Structure 1
Amino acid sequence: MCGIAGFIDFSRRSGEEILRGMTDVLQHRGPNDAGYKTVEHPSCTIGLGHRRLSILDLSSSGHQPMEFGALTIIFNGEVYNYKEIRKELEQHGYTFSSGSDTEVLLKGYDLWQEKVVDKCIGMFAFAILDQAREELVLVRDRAGVKPLYYYWQNNTLLFASELKSFHQHPRFRKEIDVNSLSLFLQYSYIPAPYSIFKDTWKLKPGHLLRVSLKHGNPSLECYWSVLNAYSQPLVKDNEEEVLRKTEALLQSAYKYRMVSDVPVGVFLSGGYDSTSVAAILQAGTASRIKTFTIGYKEQQFDESAEAKKIAMHLGTDHHEWIVGPADALSVLHKLPEIYDEPFADNSTVPTTLVSLLASKEVKVALGGDGGDEIFAGYNKFNQSIGYTSRMPRAVQVMASAAMGLVNPEHIPYFNKKYNFATRFEKMKLIWHSGKPEMAMKYISQYVTESEADHYMGVPVERYKTNFDLNGNLTAVNGKLNRLLAVDYMTFLVDNNLVKMDRATMSVSIEGREPMLDHRLVEYLAKVPDALKTKNNINKYLLKTIVHKYVPRSIMERPKKPFIAPLTEWFKDELKSQMDHYLSADNLNSTGLINGANVQALLQRYQQGGKVSHQKLWNLLVFQLWYERWMKK
C-alpha cells in the first residue's frame, strides 16, 4: 500500500522539486520509503513519484519508481496472486531480483501490456510509463478499492492517489465545481467520475487512462465492468451448490488477503460481513487472529458487547475502544485533511478511530466492505422494489401527479413527522419514475435535487451519475440484481471504499477488502435474486454460511448501524461547532451556499424540529473542508 503522484507537463515547466512536493504530501500513505523520477521527452516532461508502505518484500529491492527496459512503474496496492503470475513469467524467461509484486506487475506488463490486469487478483492503482510506445497509462482496479485522481488542463496532466497532491503543483486551479457540490449535498459524497474541482476526475474502477507523450489527448478505456458480470446468464446451480461454491470463494479470497510480510488483523463490527472474515480466517489457522472493535458510551449505538461475544466464540485476540464525544472532537478537525474532498459519511469518525486502534498492533487490516452490495444486505433494496410494485403503475402516476399539487409543509399532523417534506418529495419522484433503480437513487439521497438547489447560493446543472443508468440495465437478470449492480458502482466505490482507504491510510496501515475479490463478485452476479433474499431474509447466502461458524443465537439480533451518534453529540459537544461553521456569515463567505436557508434549517433542528441531522452534517463537513482547502 502506497501513495503515487505525477505529471505530464507539455509546457515542460515542471521539475523534480514540484514532483517531490506532490509526492511527499502523501507521506502518511507511505512512510517507509520515497522515490522520484523525472523524464524529459521531446514534447513534455514526465514526473513519477512514490511513497512506500512496506507490506511485501520489506527490503530496498521493492523501491519505486521501478524500471525494466523502456518501462517505469509506480504502484499503489497489492497483487495477492503475484507468486502464481511470477511462475508463469519465469516460464517465459523472465528473472526477478526482488520478492515484490511490483516487479511481477512491471514484467507482466512488459509481456502482456494492460492485459496483465486480467491475471491479477488484488487492489491496485498504478501508472506505467512506456517510453517505447511513447505513452503513460493509468490503471485502477476493478472495484475501485484504490483511489486515483487526474487533472487535465492547460497542457498539463496531474495524477495522484489523493487530491492534496494537486495543490502542490503551481498550474492546478482549485476552482470548485458547483454541480459536484450539489451532488455532495444530496449524497454526502461525490459520485465518480466527478470531483469537487473543475477539470479534475476520479478514474473510474475497471478503467485505464492512456495519454500520448506526443499529443496528450487522454483517452479512457474500460477493461472490466460489473454490469458485464451482472449481464451473464444465471447459474443453474441449486442452493446447496451455490452455498458450497460461495464458501469456497470466500475462503480463497480471505486467504489471499492474508499474504503479507507484516502483522495482519480484522476489523470486527459484529455484523455478518466482518464476522465472516474473522470466522473463516480463524478456522483456518492455529494462531489467534487479531480483531478490533470500536464501541460507544451511547448504548443505542454500541455493538462492542456483541462483537466481543463473537470474538470470544471464535477465539480471536480481541481489542476494543469505547469512545465518547471527546474522542470525536479530537478527530473532527482532522477530517478535512484525511478526506481532502468533501465527504460526510457519518461513520468517518469511528472508522478513523478503529484504524488508529488497529495501527498499534498491525500494519494490515481486513474489513467487510462489499458484503451488503454483493449479498443484498441493505433494506433499501427491498424498499426500492416494494415502493414501485405494490400499486399498479397507473395509480403510481396519478398519486405522483396529485402530490405535485400539494405543499407537504401544509399537511396537518404529518408535517410534524421526522423529515416529512423530504420523504414526501422522494415518494412523489419514486412513483413518477416507477423504476426500482430510480427509487434507490432517491432513497440514497439525503436531500433531493430541489432541496440542494434551495441550499445552494448559485445555479447548478444536473450531472448524470451511475444512478442514472436506466437503459444500460436491461441485460441484467432480475430487479434485485439491477439494484446490486448500481449500488456497487455508486455507494460502494464512492462512499464505503473512500471511507476505508482514507481512514486506514491516515494512520499508515493497509486496509484490505476481501469480499470484493472479483471472482466472488462475478459468481454472485450470476446467482438469481431468489437465493440472495429468501424467506424475507436479506443476505441469505452469507448468513447461512456464517451460521456454520458462529451460532445463530449470537448473530441474530437487531442490527445497529456503524455510525457516530451525531444526534447526541450535536446537542452538546458539537453544538458550538455547528453554530460557528453554519453561521450566516461563514456560509455566505463561500459564495456557494445560501446562508439564510441553511440558518433556517439549523434553527428548526435546534428548536426540536424533526430535521434530518445528516443534512446539517453534510453542510458542516463542507464548511470544514472549505476552510482547510480554499482559504489557505
Structure 2
Amino acid sequence: MCGVAALWEIDGGAGREVLLRHIGAMTASLRHRGPDGSGCWIDERAGVALGHTRLAIVDLSPAGAQPMASSDGRFVLSYNGEIYNAAELRRDLERRGRRFRGGSDTEVLVEGLAAWGIEPCLRRLIGMFAFALWDREARTMTLVRDRLGIKPLYWAQVGRTVLAGSELKTLRAFAGWTPEIDRDVLATYLRYRCVPAPRTIYREAAKLPPGHVLEIDRHGQTRLRQFWDPLAIVPDSTDLADAEAEERLDALLRDAVGRRMVADVPLGGFLSGGIDSSLVTALMQAQSSRPIRTFSIGFDEPGFDEAPHARAVAAHLGTDHTELYVAPGQALDLVPSLPEVFDEPFADASQIPTCLLAVLTRQHVTVALSGDGGDELFAGYERYARAEQAWQRLSRLPRGVRRLAAHALRRLPALDGGSLLCRSGLVPPTERIDHWASTLAAGDDVAFYRHRGSQWRDPGRIVRGAEEWRVPWRPGAPGGDFLARMQRIDLVSYLPNDVLTKVDRATMAVALEARVPILDHRVVEFALGLPRRLKQRDGTSKWLLRRVLDRYVPGALVDRPKAGFSVPLAGWLRGPLRDWAEDLLGETRLREEGFFEAAPVRLRWRQHLEGTRDWHAHLWTVLMFQAWLQHGRQATSRPAPLAEATCAAE
C-alpha cells in the first residue's frame, strides 16, 4: 500500500527546481502511507511531476519502486493498491512479448495499461487501486479509482495546474493553493457524518468517484467516465437452488480470500466475532498450513465489548489470537489526533476503535484482512427491516395526506426536549418533529430511506450561509424491491464515503494494509444478482452468508444481535471529554468562527450535559469539524518538509 502524488503544470515552464519543490512537499505529506521508500519522476518540458511513497508488500526489492515507467517508455505510473490476479495477467503479457524486470504487481499494472489500453486493462483487474498515469506520447494525465472505492484519490485544478493525491493533505501541500471551505458541503457533512464523493470540504477539490476514470488532456480539458457500474446489475429472479448458491458463494469467497493472502510480509486478520469477520478468518485458516494471526480489541463498558465473541471464534478455528482491552484513557488520548488521521471532517465514532485496532495489529503484521462489505451486500443491517416496515405503513396513506401532515408538524412551536409536554410523551421534541415531517413528506421509498439515515435533519439551518448540497442519486437498474434499493444506496454512498474511508485512513495512518475480500468485485456482482430469499429468510438476515459460515463455525458462536463497533461516546462527552468539547463548542468561538449557528448547537450541548437528551451523535459531527478546523490552522503555520526522495528526470 502506498501514497500517490501528481502535479501537472499544463503550460510548462515551471522549471525542475520548482517542480521538485512542489512534488517533494506533496510526497512528504504521505510518508505515513509508505514508510519503506519514496521517489519522484519529473518531465520538466511537459511540466509533470509524479511522487510516490512505498509500503512494500509484494517484491520488497528496488524493482518494485515507483513511480514506474512502462518498458516501452510511454507511460509513467504512481499507484496505490494491490492487484490480486497479477500472476495470471503477467503470464498473458509475457505471451504478448512483454518482459519484466521484477515481481511486483505495479509492473504488471503499468505493462497491462501499455499493452491493452486503460479501460480494457481495468476490466481485467481483480483488486483495489487508485493511480495517476502520465502518457508521454498523448500528453494526457489519467486518474483512476477502483470499482468500490476501497482506495482514495483526490484531485483539483488550480488555474492551469492539475493536482492529485491519495489524501486531501497532499493537495494542501502545494504552495500555490489556498482552498476555501465549502459551506454547502459542510451542511451535507452534518447530515451524513462524512463528505460524500465527488465533493470535498473544499470548493476547489474533488474526490474521484469509485469505478471512474478521469482523463485530462493537454489543453486542460477533463473527461470523466465510468468503467464499472454496480447500479446496472439487475437482481436475478431465476430460481437459483439454495445448495448451488451456497457452493458458488463459498468458492468465490474462498478464492477472494486466498488471493488476498499473498504477501511477502507478515499477514493477519481483524476478528470481531461477527458473521463477516468470522467467515473471512475461517477461509484464511482453511487455506493456511499454520495458525493465522487474528486481532481484536475490547472495552470494559457493558454493551461495547465484542472481545469474548472474537476469542471464542478464534479458539474454535485455532488462530493465533491477540486481543487488547482498551482503557478509556487510551481511547481518549487518540481523539486529538483524529483530524490528522482522517484529513477531512469525519464523524463516524467507530473511527476510534478502528484506529486502536489498527495500532494493535500493526505491532505484529503489515497486512490485515477485514470483513467489511457483508452487511451491504447480503442485507445485514437491522435498519433495512425497520425501514421496510415503516415505509409499508406510511405508504398506505395518500401522498397528499402525508404532505398535509408534514406541513402541520412543521408548524408546531419549537419545544425543548425537557419540557413537560415532551417528557410526558404527548408531543415529541423538535428534532423528532423535524424527522417525522421529513419522512412523511418523502415522495418515494428511496427518499424515505435517505431521510432516515440523516444525522442533522435540516443542516442548512445549522451552517451559516449554506444551502445544503444534495447528493445526486440514480435509481439504478430496474427490478428489485425496496430492500435491494436500500442496499444499492449504501453500496454506492455509505460504504465508500464512510466505511471504506474509515478503514483506509485508520490503517494507513500506521502503515497497515487492509484488504477486503468480501468486496472482490466478482463477489459483489454475484451478491447484487441474488434474489431476496437468499439474503433474508424467515426473519434471518444474511441468510446465504450464514449458510456458508455454518460450514466452518458453529452458529451458536456468532448468532447474536448485531452490536456494532463503537465506544461509549455519550458518557465520555459528559465526563472525560467535556472540557475538550466545551472549548470547541464555546458560544464565543462558534460566533467568531462563523460556520455554525451557535444557539441550536449550544442547546443540544446543554441538553446532553443535563441528560435530558442524548445528542452525542449530532454533537460529534460538529466537534469533528471544529477539531479539524483547529488542526488545519495549526498545520498551515508549519513549513512543509521536502520529501527525502530519489528523483528521476527526463
Q: Give the structure-1-normalised TM-score.
A: 0.95
Aligned pair partner of 1:172 in 170, 173, 177: 177
Matched, 1:382 2:385: yes
In the other structure, the counterpart of 1:183 is 188
In the other structure, the counterpart of 1:133 is 138
Report the alpha carbon displacement of residue 419 of structure 1 after superposing the two structures with TM: 8.4
Report the alpha carbon displacement of residue 333 of structure 1 after superposing the two structures with TM: 1.0
Aligned pair partner of 2:38 in 30, 34, 38: 34
Distance 2:413 2:545 in 1: 41
Aligned pair partner of 1:116 in 98, 108, 121: 121
Deviations 1:558-587 (A, max 9, x none): 332201110121121111111111111222
Is the alpha carbon distance of 1:283 and 1:495 closer, same or farther for their aligned partners in structure 2, counting shifts above 3 Å? same
Distance 1:106 1:182 in 2: 40
Higher relative contact order, chain-length normalized (CA < 8 Å, sep 6+) = 2
Q: Which moved more, 1:397-406 or 1:611-620?
A: 397-406
Distance 1:495 1:543 in 2: 25
Q: Which moved more, 1:175-184 or 1:423-432?
A: 423-432
Is the alpha carbon distance of 1:138 and 1:600 closer, same or farther for their aligned partners in structure 2, counting shifts above 3 Å? same
Report the alpha carbon displacement of residue 383 of structure 1 after superposing the two structures with TM: 2.4
In the other structure, the counterpart of 2:209 is 204
Q: Which amino acid aligns with 2:463?
A: M
Report the alpha carbon displacement of residue 397 of structure 1 after superposing the two structures with TM: 4.3
Distance 1:588 1:265 in 2: 48
Distance 1:225 1:589 in 2: 44
In the other structure, the counterpart of 2:48 is 46
Q: Which amino acid aligns with 2:165?
A: A
For residues 65-144 of structure 1, what are the structure 2 equivalents within 5 Å?
Answer: 65-68=67-70, 69-114=73-118, 115-144=120-149
Distance 1:408 1:244 in 2: 58
Contact 1:454 1:597 in 2 (8 A): no
Q: Which amino acid aligns with 1:66?
A: M
Is the alpha carbon distance of 1:510 and 1:392 closer, same or farther for their aligned partners in structure 2, counting shifts above 3 Å? closer
In the other structure, the counterpart of 1:314 is 317
Distance 1:566 1:555 in 2: 26
Distance 1:473 1:64 in 2: 38
Aligned pair partner of 1:464 in 470, 487, 490: 470
Q: Which moved more, 1:125-134 or 1:11-20?
A: 11-20
Distance 2:440 2:295 in 1: 43
Distance 1:420 1:324 in 2: 35
Matched, 1:3 2:3: yes
Distance 1:40 1:438 in 2: 50
Report the alpha carbon displacement of residue 440 of structure 1 after superposing the two structures with TM: 1.8
Aligned pair partner of 1:298 in 301, 309, 315: 301
Q: Which amino acid aligns with 1:596?
A: A
For residues 463-502 of structure 1, what are the structure 2 equivalents within 5 Å?
Answer: 463-466=469-472, 468-469=473-474, 472-473=475-476, 475-502=478-505
Distance 1:323 1:260 in 2: 29
In the other structure, the counterpart of 2:645 is none
Contact 1:419 1:611 in 2 (8 A): no
SS in 2 for 1:384: helix
Contact 2:267 2:365 in 1 (8 A): yes
In the other structure, the counterpart of 2:442 is 433
Contact 1:189 1:344 in 2 (8 A): yes
Deviations 1:59-81 (A, max 9, x none): 00001111121110111000011
In the other structure, the counterpart of 1:194 is 199
Contact 2:8 2:48 in 1 (8 A): yes
Question: How many residues were matched structurally?
Answer: 622
For residues 216-615 of structure 1, what are the structure 2 equivalents within 5 Å?
Answer: 216-229=220-233, 231=234, 233-395=236-398, 397-406=400-409, 407=412, 409=414, 413-414=421-422, 420-448=429-457, 450=458, 452-458=459-465, 460-466=466-472, 468-469=473-474, 472-473=475-476, 475-615=478-618
Is the alpha carbon distance of 1:541 and 1:49 closer, same or farther for their aligned partners in structure 2, counting shifts above 3 Å? same
SS in 2 for 1:545: helix
SS in 1 for 2:253: helix
Deviations 1:151-205 (A, max 9, x none): 1131111100001111211221221011110011111101111100012100000
Q: Which amino acid aligns with 1:58?
A: L
Contact 1:587 1:594 in 2 (8 A): yes
Deviations 1:22-52 (A, max 9, x none): 00110000000101111134xx511100000
Contact 2:83 2:125 in 1 (8 A): yes
SS in 2 for 1:334: helix
Is the alpha carbon distance of 1:227 and 1:359 closer, same or farther for their aligned partners in structure 2, counting shifts above 3 Å? same
Is the alpha carbon distance of 1:357 and 1:419 closer, same or farther for their aligned partners in structure 2, counting shifts above 3 Å? farther
SS in 2 for 1:157: strand
Is the alpha carbon distance of 1:419 and 1:288 closer, same or farther for their aligned partners in structure 2, counting shifts above 3 Å? farther
In the other structure, the counterpart of 2:646 is none
Deviations 1:530-576 (A, max 9, x none): 22111111111111221221112111123322011101211211111
Q: Which amino acid aligns with 1:345?
A: D
Is the alpha carbon distance of 1:434 and 1:585 closer, same or farther for their aligned partners in structure 2, counting shifts above 3 Å? same
Deviations 1:599-620 (A, max 9, x none): 1211111111213210111111
Q: Which amino acid aligns with 1:423?
A: R
Is the alpha carbon distance of 1:18 and 1:277 closer, same or farther for their aligned partners in structure 2, counting shifts above 3 Å? same
Report the alpha carbon displacement of residue 128 of structure 1 after superposing the two structures with TM: 1.1
Q: Which moved more, 1:277-286 or 1:300-309?
A: 277-286
Distance 1:403 1:145 in 2: 39
Contact 1:388 1:431 in 2 (8 A): no
Deviations 1:474-526 (A, max 9, x none): 52422221211111011100000000000000111101111100000001111
Report the alpha carbon displacement of residue 415 of structure 1 after superposing the two structures with TM: 5.8
Q: Which moved more, 1:425-434 or 1:518-527?
A: 425-434
Q: Which amino acid aligns with 1:626?
A: L
Contact 1:419 1:610 in 2 (8 A): no
Is the alpha carbon distance of 1:109 and 1:619 closer, same or farther for their aligned partners in structure 2, counting shifts above 3 Å? same
Q: Give the structure-2-normalised TM-score.
A: 0.93
Deviations 1:278-310 (A, max 9, x none): 111112223111111011121221111111111
Report the alpha carbon displacement of residue 401 of structure 1 after superposing the two structures with TM: 2.0
Distance 1:430 1:300 in 2: 30
For the aligned residue pairs, the C-alpha RMSD in angstroms reads 1.8
Gaps of 5+ in 2: 637-650
Is the alpha carbon distance of 1:235 and 1:518 closer, same or farther for their aligned partners in structure 2, counting shifts above 3 Å? farther
Is the alpha carbon distance of 1:455 and 1:251 closer, same or farther for their aligned partners in structure 2, counting shifts above 3 Å? same
Distance 1:338 1:147 in 2: 14
SS in 1 for 2:117: helix
- Percent of aligned positions that are identical: 36
Q: Which amino acid aligns with 2:149?
A: G
Distance 1:67 1:473 in 2: 38
Deviations 1:333-363 (A, max 9, x none): 1101001100011111100000000001100
